[in-house]
Structure 1
Amino acid sequence: MGNLQDSPPATDPRPVFGGVAETYDRIRPAYPKQAVDDVIDFAQAQPGDRMLEVGAGTGKATALFAGRSLGVVALEATPEMAEVARRNCAGSDVLVRTCAFEDWQEEEEAESFRLVVSAQSWHWMPADRCALAHRALVPGGSLAVLWNTTTWPDPDLRLRLEAIYRRHAPTLTLGGPSTDHWLAEMTDSGPFGSPRRLDYRFEVVYPIDQYLELIGTYSDHLVLGPQDLGGLLEAVAEALDPESDVRVEYQTKLLLARRAG
């Protein structure tokens, strides 16, 4: 069944995200306050320090960090998502740039950020993402990468949905980006040291219609196309108890590392 988090499909996700920007912003969860606190503490960030966010989406994380009095430059390649992020961060010290991390070439910005953050998007970044982040950071600056991932508290529901996904979307599988892989990438390639991993848990209860909207915002679902996605959502709706809400347990995985050199 689908993993309820964004795993890279075979095609570029940016066009499909544009069509669900408003729904994404309304239905996707934000990030735990404690996770933001821990990023700020690890980075030793002070009010007025600069932060670069890559793959900002609709500003779910952007607004949280801007609320800590950081000056944020947020990069988002999908125009519709970037526009929602601008709206969400209006009145804050946030500049949202509509561009991809790999296309952002600002010589004057090199070594000028205390913190680089990627929320729910590091796996979309180019292969040289660590080198690009290293270049943007001041010496001793920090990289923070986080994802909201899902677990299933109801094993019976999971089994029913697994059967539906095998029938309607066999290419979608459980699991998501391996945090061990990403943490090793940060440190083994040389640019970063002092790695740290933290986990947080929270729960969201969705009415059925909102749950269907939620899974309709995940990239691996969206690339199925309207007809196949519609059939999948219809089958999922039929499998759910119409008198009950859907309880989703989230695990926020946070990876931290500090620029070496």
Structure 2
Amino acid sequence: MANKSEQTQDWYSEYIATYTWEQRKNWYSQIADAYNKTRPRYPQQLINRVVELAQLPSDANILEIGCGPGIATVPFAEFGFAMLCLEPSQPACQLARENCVIYPSVEIKNQTFEEWELEAEKFNAVLAATSFHWVSPEIRYQKTAAALKDKGLLILLWNAGVLPQDEVYRVLDEVYQNQAPSLAEYHAKERADRAESIKELGQNVIESGLYENLIYEQLLCKTTYSIEDYLALLQTYSEYIALDDKKRTSLLAKLREALEKNCGNSIEASYLSAFHIAKKL
């Protein structure tokens, strides 16, 4: 039986194989505002640890792949690094520009990594924050390595699985079982092996044969959502975006009803924030 990491990668690989890059680049466009508002942030402690381990020079050049609205861009920009950030979705790209307007060394381009014309051996680090799995497998490691300077670093950040507390999960699971059994299975697996699935993603970096000295660390974080924001968050996840519009609307209405009836005004949750750092061979 495939593990969660393999299942997740299979899902994205199937999506990448099915849709052209023109279609893929708009995958998150409709929910860009909700993504910007509700996706969890990378804790400063984690960012500081990455910068400490990476030992980047103060004038480092960083290439960011799939920056979204700039959730990871901002904390790296605050260190003064020069950043070239690629974002396929035009609405997310605009949000990133707004969020990074005070950082003159940050440039944001509305491009996929696939479209981007390679600037070989230019960057001290390539950064991807919960986005690397969207890059086409045939260029994922080769093109990042080609963009890096000698001994440059691939830095992968992950925010995984915003999981509500058990009593809320049981309420939600009952709705999933009735309305969307595939999502019931998805969330159950997510709860069972959230940490292991992220760890395994780093092994693919080493198995590419282009990187070495893999470092992995993780941090368990807590957060609180209103019911409205939690439902908005769910809509930013691929498994929900992929649902038929009518089915998604019905599911969210049932989830809202169950939460309002059983869970008060706020939802306590946790998520795993983690990173991989690997050095170009």
| Partner-residue secondary structure (3-state), 1:60 | coil
Taking a change above 3 Å as real, the CA distance of residues 152 and 219 of structure 1, as seen in their structure-2 partners, is closer
Task: Report the structure, 1 or 2, having the larger helix content.
Answer: 2
Distance, in Å, in 1 between the alignment partners of 2:244 and 2:220 is 32
Structure 1 residue 226, shift from structure 2 partner: 2.4
Structure 1 residue 151, shift from structure 2 partner: 5.5
Counterpart of 1:186 in structure 2 is 205
1:104 aligns with 2:80: no
| Partner-residue secondary structure (3-state), 1:25 | helix
Structure 1 residue 84, shift from structure 2 partner: 0.7
Counterpart of 2:256 in structure 1 is 237
1:259 aligns with 2:270: no
Structure 1 residue 55, shift from structure 2 partner: 0.8
Q: Contact (CA 8 Å) 1:54, 1:121: kept in 2 or not? A: yes
Distance, in Å, in 2 between the alignment partners of 1:253 and 1:231 is 33
Say which of 54, 66, 74 aligns to 1:63: 74
Deviations 1:86-121 (CA, angstroms, capped at 9, x unpaired): 111112111111111111113xx2111111110011
Counterpart of 1:248 in structure 2 is 269
| Partner-residue secondary structure (3-state), 1:171 | helix
Taking a change above 3 Å as real, the CA distance of residues 218 and 152 of structure 1, as seen in their structure-2 partners, is closer
Q: Contact (CA 8 Å) 2:164, 2:267: kept in 1 or not? A: no
Identical pairs, percent: 28
Q: How many residues align?
A: 254
Q: Which amino acid aligns with 2:131?
A: S
Structure 1 residue 80, shift from structure 2 partner: 1.0
1:94 aligns with 2:106: yes
Q: Which moved more, 1:126-135 or 1:161-170?
A: 161-170
Q: Contact (CA 8 Å) 1:43, 1:141: kept in 2 or not? A: no
Q: Contact (CA 8 Å) 1:82, 1:97: kept in 2 or not? A: yes
| Partner-residue secondary structure (3-state), 1:149 | strand
RMSD over aligned CA atoms reads: 2.1
Q: Which has the higher contact order (CA 8 A, sep 6+)?
A: 1
Structure 1 residue 204, shift from structure 2 partner: 1.1
Q: Which amino acid aligns with 1:121?
A: S
1:226 aligns with 2:236: no
Distance, in Å, in 2 between the alignment partners of 1:131 and 1:198 is 24
TM-score (norm 2): 0.84
Gaps of 5+ in 2: 1-7
| Partner-residue secondary structure (3-state), 1:51 | strand
Structure 1 residue 236, shift from structure 2 partner: 1.0
Say which of 151, 158, 165 aligns to 2:176: 165
Say which of 119, 124, 131 aligns to 2:142: 131
Gaps of 5+ in 1: none
Distance, in Å, in 1 between the alignment partners of 2:165 and 2:71 is 27
Counterpart of 1:144 in structure 2 is 155
TM-score (norm 1): 0.90
| Partner-residue secondary structure (3-state), 1:101 | coil
Deviations 1:190-210 (CA, angstroms, capped at 9, x unpaired): 110000110012111111111
Distance, in Å, in 1 between the alignment partners of 2:236 and 2:164 is 21
Structure 1 residue 171, shift from structure 2 partner: 2.8
Q: Contact (CA 8 Å) 1:54, 1:118: kept in 2 or not? A: yes
In the TM superposition, structure 1's runs of 4+ consecutive aligned residues that sit over 3 Å from their partners are 5-14
